[in-house]
Amino acid sequence: MKKKPLKILAIIFLLSLIFNLYLSLSSPYLNNDKSYFNLRVIDQIKNTGLPLFYDELSYGGRYLIVQPFFHYLFMILSFVPFYFNIFPALLVSSLVLISYFIAREITNDENSSLITALLAGFVPIYSKTLINQFTIYTLVLPLIAFMILCFIKLEEKKYFVFFIIGGIILSLTHSSSFLLLFIFLFYILLVNVENIKLIKLKKETLLFMFFLIFMINILFFRKAFFQYGLDVVYGNNPLFNTINIFQSFYLLGVIPLFLGIIGLYQGFFGPKKEQITLIYSIILGILFLFLIRLIDIKIGLLFLSFGLVIASSLAIKNFFVYLDKTKFSNSRRLAILVFIIFFIGLSFLPTYFNYKEEFTDLNDFEWLKNNVDENSVILTPLEYGHLVPYFSDRSNVIDSNFLLAPDPIQRYHDINLIYSGWSYNKAIELLKDYSVDYIYISKDVKNIYNIDDLPYLENEECIRRIKESIYQFVC
Q: Which residues of the shown chain bind other proteins in the complex (CB under 8 A)?
A: 160, 164, 199-201, 204-205, 207-208, 211-212, 214-215, 218-219, 222, 225-232, 406-407, 410, 432-435
Q: How far is the CB of 381 from other proteins (least distance, A)?
A: 19
**Which C-beta is closer to other proteins: that of 233 or that of 261?**
233
Q: How far is the CB of 410 from other proteins (least distance, A)?
A: 7
Beta bridge partners of 472: 438, 464
Using left for φ > 0, alpha for ψ between -120 and 50, and beta otherwise, residue 271 falls in beta
**Which C-beta is closer to other proteins: that of 429 or that of 453?**
429
Residue 278 near residue 225, CB atoms below 8 Å:
no
**Which C-beta is closer to other proteins: that of 4 or that of 200?**
200
Alpha carbons 261 and 244: distance in angstroms, whole number: 19
**Which C-beta is closer to other proteins: that of 214 or that of 258?**
214
**Which C-beta is closer to other proteins: that of 274 or that of 364?**
274
**Which C-beta is closer to other proteins: that of 227 or that of 237?**
227
Q: How far is the CB of 345 from other proteins (least distance, A)?
A: 48
Would you call 73 exposed, middle or buried from its count of C-beta atoms within 10 A (0-12, 13-18, 19+)? middle
3-state SS assignment for residue 283:
helix
**Which C-beta is closer to other proteins: that of 198 or that of 336?**
198
Q: CB count, 10 Å around CB of 422?
A: 9
Between helix 83-107 and helix 3-25 the angle, nearest 10°, is: 150
Q: How far is the CB of 147 from other proteins (least distance, A)?
A: 15
Q: CB count, 10 Å around CB of 431?
A: 22
Q: How far is the CB of 367 from other proteins (least distance, A)?
A: 28
Between helix 83-107 and helix 110-121 the angle, nearest 10°, is: 150
Q: How far is the CB of 307 from other proteins (least distance, A)?
A: 27
Output the CA–CA distances (angstroms, integers) from residue 444 to 26, 416, 440, 452, in the order listed: 20, 15, 10, 11
Q: How far is the CB of 209 from other proteins (least distance, A)?
A: 9
Q: What are phi and psi of 54, to 5 degrees?
A: -130, 120
